[in-house]
Structure 1
């Protein structure tokens, strides 16, 4: 083909264009499309964390694996966390709570440290979050870390259940703390269980390690004798350590709120005050988590700054 006395090689032009297209395509193939750290797994189960090791981390980053759909976390108030912490140099597990018990913390920078506080602030119950942090000279952590956090409820949630006649009425404050109105009648002589909110989580089995919020009241006048709601921080018990609960809470579901009326023939377990010996006690219990005894040797401390 001639143009202005010069020969134009069409085949060469086509070949050069094709090479350019292939080069661009090759660049696209080498570009990373996935994040450095990929977190998979189901709700209420340990996560699977995937990344190349050693992971190079120059500054703390954070991502939301999935959004929470529950209440907003409140600054200065308790949060309940499951966590999975890895050494990002070799992806080895440092510690985790899924086989022990979730850990309550306060949503403050003082309690959590700057990074974890920033990761949790503004989140909602039900969120799964991942934090990637460099080695910290401010702590004993001499390696970069990957931490997955599941934000658990700190109060019962589910379908309300109408109480049977003759049971004390329960009123909840804005933060979930219960009070009761005495009936003015004689208490039942048998251990009595009344679900107030029916949750949809795992059922409690014999010997489980349970995490709860609770208050105890005297049947006669509704006086509060013991509670976790003063601090709002959930507590963890081995079910067998609380004799009345070990019978009353079997097969109740996590997420439920349960009233348990305990006659004086039962040991209370959670309250040791002799002042109330011989009295019928009414417990209002929010069931937040349960773990099987074989997988729950003891509660595990949650990570702090630099971990």
Structure 2
């Protein structure tokens, strides 16, 4: 089956169109991590409804995969969006990350193509902007918003009818329950926005990688090969200085797969739950390799990271 343009290849894969706003580094550092989306009025970004969207009947409650009914084939000339259920609470603003779910039907045959995002770990949170497909469909909706959208045929595929549910606004920092600190490990203090400051305990670095959960999230567990959305700060043990931090780059989360980072970072992520904050002190062997400590790279360094896990998409859903 093929969902286009919001979902591609199968119901278990998300197109590059939606991921364009939240792609990130494939290494443990975030060179090339995304910049904050410009502030824009999402209310004005939502496209208008029309005959095609009005012709679609949607059954079911927001947050659960719906059933669509329309007379096929349905003529779709332009992108249209019609709000079916209004959300409640704080409306989303440009640059925020949202959790969402989608159901797609073929406009020509009326057949359901699939749904995705209604179960934990199926979709990575996406950054919304006025120029993104999500922004054009959802506008400045609030959690619980349900919108039917009609997409005309293009080079990417045939015309399709979507229902998009705005499930929630994802915090920019870990929200899990605080856990007791581990004696002997670095300590962490948080700014009002969640940005961490790491204080090293002094003395020689540990000879084995150490991991502690600072906050325990309530989301899905991260599995090997998952794509994750995270905030992080990393410091060198040798001098305590920060060498990389998403918080220093506009506070915008970045994403990568757990198998695309150094072993210590991977160990810190896999098995943890979404919403968690993790502290890891990794040896050079689990970082960037043994060698003489220098100012040009991270060889020989014992590294300390604080990682906030904000979302995960299972490898089976990519």
The normalised TM-score by structure 2 is 0.63
Residues 267 and 184 (structure 1), Cα distance of their counterparts in 2 relative to 1, 3 Å cut: closer
- Which of 232, 237, 252 is matched with 2:251 structurally? 232
1:203-218 matches, cutoff 5 A: 203-218=221-236
- 2:131 is equivalent to residue 110 of structure 1: yes
1:52-71 matches, cutoff 5 A: 52-54=69-71, 60-64=81-85, 67=88
Q: CA deviation at 1:228?
A: 2.7
- Which of 305, 311, 316 is matched with 1:283 structurally? 305
1:250, 1:199 → 2: CA distance? 13
The answer on whether the counterparts of 1:73 and 1:79 sit within 8 Å (CA) in structure 2 is no
Aligned to 1:296: 317
Please say which of residues 194-203 and 164-173 is displaced more in the overlay.
164-173
Stretches of structure 1 lacking an aligned partner (at least 5 in a row): 1-34, 298-307
Please say which of residues 190-199 and 284-293 is displaced more in the overlay.
284-293
Residues 292 and 171 (structure 1), Cα distance of their counterparts in 2 relative to 1, 3 Å cut: same
1:109, 1:210 → 2: CA distance? 24
1:245-260 matches, cutoff 5 A: 245-260=265-280
Q: CA deviation at 1:163?
A: 1.4
Residues 132 and 206 (structure 1), Cα distance of their counterparts in 2 relative to 1, 3 Å cut: closer
1:40, 1:218 → 2: CA distance? 50
2:190, 2:174 → 1: CA distance? 11
- 2:131 is equivalent to residue 131 of structure 1: no
1:119, 1:136 → 2: CA distance? 23
2:239, 2:91 → 1: CA distance? 34
Residues 109 and 160 (structure 1), Cα distance of their counterparts in 2 relative to 1, 3 Å cut: same
Stretches of structure 2 lacking an aligned partner (at least 5 in a row): 1-55, 290-294
Bigger radius of gyration: 1
- 1:246-298 Cα shifts (integer Å, max 9, x gaps): 333332222110001111121359xxx952221111111112233443x133x
The answer on whether the counterparts of 1:88 and 1:146 sit within 8 Å (CA) in structure 2 is no
Please say which of residues 59-68 and 226-235 is displaced more in the overlay.
59-68
Aligned to 1:147: 164
- 2:196 is equivalent to residue 178 of structure 1: yes
How many pairs align?
246
- Which of 243, 254, 263 is matched with 2:283 structurally? 263
The answer on whether the counterparts of 1:207 and 1:246 sit within 8 Å (CA) in structure 2 is no
The answer on whether the counterparts of 1:258 and 1:285 sit within 8 Å (CA) in structure 2 is yes
Q: Secondary structure at the match of 1:284?
A: strand
The answer on whether the counterparts of 2:100 and 2:164 sit within 8 Å (CA) in structure 1 is no
- How much is the aligned-residue C-alpha RMSD, in angstroms? 3.7
The normalised TM-score by structure 1 is 0.65
Residues 232 and 104 (structure 1), Cα distance of their counterparts in 2 relative to 1, 3 Å cut: farther
Q: Secondary structure at the match of 2:284?
A: coil
2:275, 2:297 → 1: CA distance? 32
The answer on whether the counterparts of 1:191 and 1:248 sit within 8 Å (CA) in structure 2 is no
